[in-house]
Amino acid sequence: MSQELPAGSNWSLFEFPALAAAGEVSKYSIKVKVDFQKVPIFGLKPKAFSATVVPYAIGTTSMRDIAMYEWVNPLGVPTVSGNQGDSKCVWTENGTCGVEVAFPKDAKVKLTIHLGNYLTSWLHGRLTEPTVDISAITQTQNRLVVEAAPVMTPSAKALIASTEVSPSISNNFRDPSGFLPPGEISMMTTASSDGALKNFLEFEKFFANKATSLTDTWSFRSINPLDAASGAFGGFGGFGGFGGASDSTGLGASAAKCLPQASSILGAIAGTNSTTALIGMVTTNSLTYESGPPKFEDGYLNYKVAGVHSNPDGSDFIGKYDLVMDGAIARCLYGFGAKVPISATVSIVSTDAGSRVQSTLFKDDGNWIRLGAYGFTFSSPTLKIKLAQGGAADPAKVAVKEESPAVPVKAEPKQEVVTSNAAPAAPAEVKKIITKSISCVKGKIVRKISGTNPKCPAGFKKK
C-alpha cells in the first residue's frame, strides 16, 4: 500500500495430528496483530502488537462472516463498518466456525514470531511460567520466541441501579450535557486498559467478590512503544525533541541510571537503528493489572494487580504473577556485578490480612532473570520484588505501609554464574539456607515473616 502497511490477514489455523491421536485438542487458531498510527516527524509507526493462541473445535453458526466494508453515510462521509460475527466463534466461514475450547491439561505453547525491532521493549499478558528469547534476523527484523503455559483468567459483571452508585461512578455514564439517560447503560473495561485498576476498585463491591466466568487464556502484547517513549522522555510532545528525563526502561525515574543498558530501544522506536533489545515480560491471571512494567521505587520492583476473591463456584481465586527481565538491566538497577550470583524475595502488600504467597520461582541464567509468585489472594495487592547480591534478601526488612499487612516469601537461589567465552567457569556453589518463620501481630493485623533470622517489623510484636 502507499502507506507501506503490511498486508492484512485473519486467524491462522493449525492442526496437530499427534494430539488428535492422543485424544487431545488438536486444532488451534493463532492471531498476531500489529496496529499502526501516523506520528508527526516519524511517520507511520506501530502502536500495538499482540499475539493470541486459542484452541477450538469445529461448530456451526447462522451469523454472517466477520467482514469489514466501506460505505458512505447519509451525510456523504466515507465510513468503514463491519460484521462482528458470532461471539461464540473464534472464526467463521460460510456457516462453519471455530468454537473456543479449553487447553489440554498441563499444556504449554511455544510461539515464534518474526516482527520489526520497534516492538520489543516490554511485553505483558495472560500466561504463566514464560521463557522468552529474541534474536536478530535482519537489521530491522527480530525473531521472538515465547514459551509458556495458559492461565485461567476471570471476568466479572454486575447490573447496578443508578441510585446505588456514587456520583463519581454515575458521572462516567452521563452524556456531554450532563444528562444521565434512562434504561440500562453498559461499560466494559479491559484488564490492562488505562484506568482499569481504578474502575475495578470503584465497582468492586457490586461484584459480590466473585468472578462471573473463567477463560483458559494464552496471549501477550507489547506496551505501546510511543506511550513508553512519551513517558520516558519527559513529554516528548509532538516528538519534537528528546530533552528531559531519560528512562527508556519504563521502570520509573529511579531507573534512569540504566539508560546505557536500554538506550538502543529509543533508536528502534524512531527507526534510526536496529536492536534486539527486550527489557522484559510481565504476566498475570489477575482480573485487572498494570500493563506497564513494575516500577523501581525505594529498592523494590512494585507491581499492582486487583481482582475478586472467589471463582464462580465460590472457591478461592488464586493469583499468579511472572516477571522475565533482562539480566543486565536488573543488575544495573541494584548495582550488582555481571558475575555476582543474586537471589530474590517476593512479598505481598495488601489490605487483606489473608493474603499469602504459596510458592515462588527464581532463576538467573546470566541473560534473563525469571521470577514468579503463585498462590496469592486478592482484592488489590501490590507485589514487591527485592533482589539481593549473594545471599537471600532479608524478608524482615521489606518496607510496607503500617495499615497494609504483607506476607514475604523468600525464593530459593537457583542461578548460574555468567562466564566469559574464553574459559568455562565452575558452577557456583549454592548453599542450602535454613529458614524460620514467626508470626507478628499489630492490632488485628497478623503477618508471617520468614528468613534466616526473622524479626518483626517496627510496630509489630512477636505472637
Judge whether residue 127 has pLDDT over 80: yes
Where is average pLDDT lowest: 43-52, 204-213, 346-355, 364-373?
A: 346-355
What are the C-alpha distances in Å from 402 to residues 63, 178, 380, 446? 56, 40, 16, 12
Beta strands in 292-424 (DSSP E): 295-297, 300-306, 319-326, 342-349, 359-364, 368-376, 382-389, 409-410, 414-415
Higher pLDDT, 173 or 396: 173
Domain count, the chain: 1
**Rounded alpha-carbon distances, angstroms, from residue 88 to 37, 98, 170, 263:** 30, 8, 31, 44
Residue 17 lies in a domain: yes
Going from the C-alpha of 136 to that of each of 114, 253, 283, 430, the distances in angstroms are 9, 29, 24, 34
> Contact, 426 vs 364, CB < 8 A?
no
Q: Which of the residue ranges 29-43, 137-151, 182-196, 411-425 would you say has the lowest mean pLDDT? A: 411-425
Supply the range of the domain harboring residue 61: 1-107
Is residue 270, in this structure, part of any structural domain at all? no
Give the distance, in angstroms, between the CA of residue 366 and the centroid of all CA atoms in the same chain: 23
Confidence at residue 241, expressed as pLDDT on a 0 to 100 scale: 30
Report if residue 37 sits inside a domain.
yes
Q: What is the mean pLDDT of the chain?
A: 73
Phi and psi dihedrals of 244, rounded to 5? 110, -165
**Contact (Cβ atoms closer than 8 angstroms) between residue 329 and residue 335:** no
Percent of the chain whose pLDDT exceeds 70: 67
pLDDT tens digit sequence for 446-462: 666 665 567 777 677 78
Using DSSP's 3-state secondary structure scheme, residue 269 falls into: helix
How far is 288 from 191, CA to CA, in rounded Å?
Answer: 4
Of the two residues 150 and 252, the one the predictor is more confident about is 150
What's the pLDDT at 36? 81
Whether the per-residue pLDDT at 402 is higher than 50: the answer is no
Residue 37, pLDDT score: 79
Domain contains 275: no
Question: Tell me, what amino acid is at 303?
Answer: Y
pLDDT of 161-201, one tens digit each? 777 777 777 777 777 777 777 777 666 777 766 677 777 87
Kindly state whether residue 46 falls inside one of the protein's structural domains.
yes
Is 201 within a domain?
Answer: no
User: How far apart (Å, rounded) are the C-alpha atoms in residues 175 and 427?
Assistant: 65
Greater confidence, 247 or 74? Answer: 74
Higher pLDDT, 16 or 139: 16
User: What is the mean pLDDT of the segment spanning 393-408?
Assistant: 35
Mean pLDDT value of segment 219-227 = 72
- DSSP result, 406-430: B--EEPP-EE-----SSSPPPPPP-
Higher pLDDT, 176 or 409: 176
In a domain, 11, yes or no: yes
At 263-319, the pLDDT tens digits run: 555 555 455 555 556 788 999 998 888 777 788 787 788 888 888 888 999 898 888
Report pLDDT for 409: 35
Distance CA 325, CA 293 (A): 10
CB 269 within 8 A of CB 226: yes
Is there a domain that residue 202 lies in? Answer: no
Question: What is the distance between the alpha carbons of residues 318 and 285, in angstroms, rounded to a whole number?
Answer: 9
> Rounded to whole angstroms, how far apart are CA atoms 248 and 266?
7
